[in-house]
Amino acid sequence: MDTTAAKAATELLVRHWKEGSTLAALPQTLRPGTRAQAYAVQAHLEAHSQQPLFGWKIAATSVAGQKHINVDGPIAGRLLVEMVFLDGDTVPFGANRMRVAEAEFAFCMGRDLPPRATPYAMYEVLDAVSALYLAIEIPDSRYTDYVTVGAPQLIADNACGRQFVLGPKAPDLWRQLDLAAHRVVGHVGQRLQREGIGANVLGDPRLALTWLANELPTMGATLAAGHIVTTGTCVVPMEIVPLDTVLMDFGVLGQVRCGFSGA
């Protein structure tokens, strides 16, 4: 897959995002067949942002999530500044078809983790983290049937990355907690409550972060100082509709919330 085809695939997906429309699949001539080709398509998204890359997202960090979208492991996507909202913001509902909100731990990197020959250990990755934030992710896809298109096409479509709410910074005591066992309770208005734990995120959100640090070099990218990494949902994705309000309660670490506009 050459650069021209990769850029054309990105342009096609971006057009569908802007129009709120979907496609069954990328045309065969623009369709990535491997993770490497898919990440090459995804990389061209950065040219559509007005600012440097905000960070990264990890999708399919639970077995249930992997089965749902028919992938065999986690996949990474980019967080562009244009995707980011802040705690308490009203997020445009738009043409969202997945219609779910996810409670996530998001790490801010304090220094670069450049590519190297040996994988990073979790303690090395955590040593490079400057802060933990609470977050909500609102995923979506531009494929009409996103559960059947396969990992390469999902990666090309930014690993279902759509909108992201950066909540408050967690108190420093997070470093003393077992994030795998940490309980999170999600609320959608008064009609839905669901709870989960950090272990739902690849066994531990810190393990998910470590996975990303070692995945990025395979795509020619670096986990850099200032990047925010949202690691995957702690609760089963929560169904939302226009005008809903969402609150994710991380206990002693705090809360993050957002609202949604009409359709």
Give residue-wise pLDDT tens across range 230-252.
999 999 999 999 999 999 999 99
Task: Quote the percentage of the chain above a pLDDT of 90.
Answer: 95
pLDDT tens digits for range 68-96: 888 989 999 999 999 999 999 999 999 99
pLDDT for 176 beyond 90: yes
CATH topology of domain 3-260: Fumarylacetoacetate hydrolase; domain 2 (3.90.850)
Cα dist. 27→17, 23, 35, 48, 217 in Å? 16, 10, 17, 21, 28
Calculate the alpha carbon distances from 68 to 32, 189, 204, 263 in Å.
21, 25, 20, 25
Model confidence at 67: pLDDT above 90: no
The pTM of the full predicted model, rounded to 2 decimals, is 0.97
Q: Express each pLDDT in 193-210 by its tens digit.
A: 999 999 999 999 999 999
Q: Where are the domains of the chain?
A: 3-260
What is the percent of the chain where pLDDT is above 70?
100
